[in-house]
Amino acid sequence: MVDRFVRFGRVVLGYNLFVILWGAWVRASGSGAGCGDHWPLCDGALIPPTPALTTLIELFHRATSGLAFVLVLLFFLQSRRVFVAGHSARRAAAVSFVLITIESLVGAVIVLAGLFGDNASLVRASVVGVHFVNTLLLLAVLTAALRFARDVRVPKLRPLNAVRVLLLIGVCGWLALGATGAVGALSRTLYPSNTLAESLAKEFAPNAPLLLRLRSLHVLVAVVMGAYVSFLAIYMSRRGMSTQRLAIVIFALYCAQCMLGMLNVLFVVPTPALQLSHLFLMDVLWIAFVVLGLGSIRGYHPADVHS
141-169: per-residue pLDDT in tens? Answer: 999 999 888 765 555 545 456 777 888 88
Mean pLDDT of the chain: 82
The confidence band for 239, taking pLDDT boundaries of 50, 70 and 90, is low
Q: What is the predicted pLDDT for the residue at 32?
A: 67
Q: For 243-258, what is each residue's pLDDT tens digit? A: 677 888 888 888 888 8
Instruction: Tell me: pLDDT of 269 over 70.
Output: no
What sign does the CA torsion over 76, 81, 84, 85 have?
Answer: positive
What's this model's pTM, rounded to 2 decimal places?
0.85
> Which of these, 275, 283, 276, lies nearest to 142 by C-alpha position?
283
Q: Quick check: helix, strand or coil at residue 302? A: strand
- Looking at per-residue pLDDT, the higher value among 33 and 215 belongs to 215
Identify the pLDDT of residue 303: 43
Highest-confidence segment of 9-23, 155-169, 188-202: 9-23
Report pLDDT for 307.
41
Distance of alpha carbon 242 from alpha carbon 212, whole angstroms: 43
Mean pLDDT throughout 280-296? 85
Most confident of 45-49, 114-118, 264-268, 288-292: 288-292
Distance of alpha carbon 91 from alpha carbon 83, whole angstroms: 10
Instruction: Give me the mean pLDDT over the 220-238 stretch.
Output: 82
Q: What percent of the chain has pLDDT over 70?
A: 87
> Is the backbone of residue 86 left (phi > 0), alpha (psi -120 to 50) or beta?
left
Q: Is pLDDT at 43 greater than 80 in this prediction?
A: no
pLDDT 10s digits, 65-115: 999 999 999 999 999 998 888 888 999 999 999 999 999 999 888 888 877
* Higher per-residue pLDDT: 152 or 139: 139
What's the confidence (pLDDT) of residue 18?
94
Mean pLDDT of the region 50-67: 83
Which one has a higher pLDDT value, 237 or 26? 26
For residue 240, what pLDDT is reported? 60
Measured N-to-C along each axis, helices 2-28 and 162-190 cross at an angle, to the nearest 10 degrees, of: 30
Would you say how long the chain is, in residues?
A: 307
Look at residue 222 in the predicted model and tell me its pLDDT.
87
Instruction: Provide the 8-state DSSP code for 268.
Output: -
Q: Nearest-CA neighbor of 287 among 22, 71, 13? A: 13
- Are the C-beta atoms of residues 10 and 17 closer than 8 Å to each other? no
Side-chain-side CA neighbours of 153 within 13 Å: the count stands at 12
Cα(78)–Cα(303) distance, integer angstroms: 17
- Tell me which of 60 and 240 has the higher pLDDT: 60
For residue 301, pLDDT beyond 50: no
pLDDT at 178 over 60: yes
